[in-house]
Homo-oligomer: A and B are copies of this chain.
């Protein structure tokens, strides 16, 4: 119940947790694992987090906020849908690139949230995806986009972006802009020559 040793203690735990949650998953990571990586004993974690799930909570909801700040900026613009879609793709890729570990936890480990937190998280995710659907719908309305299945198109975009930073699969030395623009080109214009 005494005060933690340093004020950076919480940040060290957060960092260790997101690394291990990403590598082995939430369920396979014990508080002792996190503590060891953070250079402390397991019970010390409870000076900073009330439970293991609260650590996950902070990672997941923290990332949700980052994703929202990025997409909100994109949605402000009144560009054509094609430009807006490219901007959204680049923005999403940027966030994942800058927060690779947390993003992977965000995408895969949120199922271990429980009760109202789980509900709230699902709602946030859905709200985020809605921005992509809105852009695609705008494109269709303006006659720029084909009359595609909006949900499927959204899913394709987000799944491909999220997949790229999974594991160590980004083997090429591509920078974020290259990745984002390549995927944007692919989604907008396809792989076939005109």
Contact = CB atoms under 8 A, between A and B. Distances in A.
A139 B171 CA distance: 22
Size bracket of the A interface:
35 or more
A90 to B, nearest CB: 14
Interface string A131-174: 00000100100011110110111011111101110000101101
A148 B28 contact: no
A91 B182 CA distance: 25
A183 interface: yes
Interface stretch (A1-9, A10-18, A37-45, A184-192): A184-192
Contact of A171 (B111, B145, B151): B151
A24 interface: yes
Given A156-B183, A159-B159, A189-B189, 11 more contacts: A24-B111, A136-B191, A145-B193, A146-B193, A148-B185, A149-B178, A151-B172, A153-B186, A155-B163, A156-B156, A156-B186
